[in-house]
Amino acid sequence: MKTIRHILPLFVVSIILLLAATPLWAAGGDTPRFHKALGFQGGQLSGLGLSYQEWKGDKGYQVAAGAMYYPNGEYSYRILDYTIGLELQSSLYHDSFSNWLAGRLYLFAGLNHQGYINMVDIDPNPDDYVYEYAPGAFQAVIGLGGGIGVEATLFDHFSIALEIGYGVFWTPTKPTLLEQFTVNIVPQVGLRYRY
- pLDDT score of 8: 55
What pLDDT does 85 receive? Answer: 97
Give this prediction's pTM: 0.74
Between 54 and 16, residue with greater pLDDT? 54
Contact 189, 50 (CB under 8 A): no
Assess whether pLDDT exceeds 50 at residue 25: no
Whether the CB-CB separation of 53 and 36 falls below 8 Å is answered with yes
Please tell me the predicted confidence (pLDDT) of residue 152. 95
Between 143 and 23, the higher pLDDT residue: 143
Confidence bin at 28 (pLDDT 50/70/90): very low
Cα separation, 29 vs 99, whole angstroms: 9
Provide the pLDDT confidence category of residue 16 given band limits of 50, 70 and 90. low
Q: CA–CA separation, 134 vs 122, rounded Å?
A: 7
Helix/strand/coil for 152: strand
Domains of the chain: 31-194 (2.40.160)
CB neighbour class for 85 (10 Å; exposed up to 12, middle 13-18, buried from 19): buried
Chain segment 65-97, per-residue pLDDT in tens? 999 988 876 667 888 999 999 999 999 998 988
Question: Would you say residue 99 has pLDDT above 60?
Answer: yes
Half-sphere exposure of 193 (CA within 13 A, CB side): 3
List, for residues 138-157, the tens digit of each pLDDT value.
999 999 999 999 999 999 89
What does the pLDDT read at residue 4? 55
